[in-house]
Every structure is written in C-alpha cells, then in structure tokens.
Amino acid sequence: MNKAWRLEELLEILLRYGTWLASAAIGIGLSIALIGSNSRMRHLPAPADMRIATAGIVLFILLPVLRVLLMLLVFIRERDFRFVSIAALVLAIILLGIVLGFPARALPDSFPRNGPG
C-alpha cells in the first residue's frame, strides 16, 4: 500500500507542477508577445517572443509521456516486471506514434517523375 501511495504522490507532483509550469510559460510568452506586438517585427508569421509560449505547449504535450516514463522508472525500482512491461509497451507505442507522425522527407532526384524530363 505504501508503494502505491508513493507512486501516486510522485505522479501528483509531476502533473501539478508540470501543468503550472506549462501554463505560466504560455501566459508569460503570450504576454511578452502582446507587449512586443508594436515592434517592427510584426510582419513575421511567428514572432520570436512566441518561443516561450511554444515551450509551454510542448511541455503540455510531453506531460503524459513523462508520466509514463516516471511510472516505468518506479516499476523498475520496485521490480514489478509485469507493470514494467506494460509501461514500456505504452512508451514504445507513444514513441512509434511520434516517429510515424513526422512528415516524409522529399524524394531524391534519382526517382522517376511523371512526364518528360
């Protein structure tokens, strides 16, 4: 019972402070972008000030992955190999989805193209 309680505490800390950190980064990034919107760089599609907000969004996306990774590490430490295999499988599926989600690179020129020339 104590081991499960410790895992729940760690997950609570990770998700609580991760969410606050991501929210703060998005808020600060948007505030800086709003303040700097009168600058001469307004014509850019994504101003440099938005990097902080983008980092907050990335952190929101990474929180579930970090949760699974934390659970994997705790299960390894507790030597609960049934849950280690489940957490590793979930992490592998997430990573496979990330790899498959990247766009394909442009085909090299050695491949034939449609039409002459």
Q: Is 87 exposed, middle or buried (0-12, 13-18, 19+ CB in 10 A)?
A: buried
Q: Where are the domains of the chain?
A: 2-37+46-101
In a 3-state reduction of DSSP, which class is residue 99? helix
Instruction: Report the C-alpha gap between 51 and 43 in whole angstroms.
Output: 16
Instruction: Report the C-alpha gap between 10 and 27 in whole angstroms.
Output: 25
- Give pLDDT tens digits for 20-75: 999 998 888 888 877 766 655 555 555 566 788 888 899 999 999 999 998 898 89
- Give pLDDT tens digits for 82-91: 999 999 999 9
Residue type, 10: L
Q: Tokens representing 59?
A: 């952190």
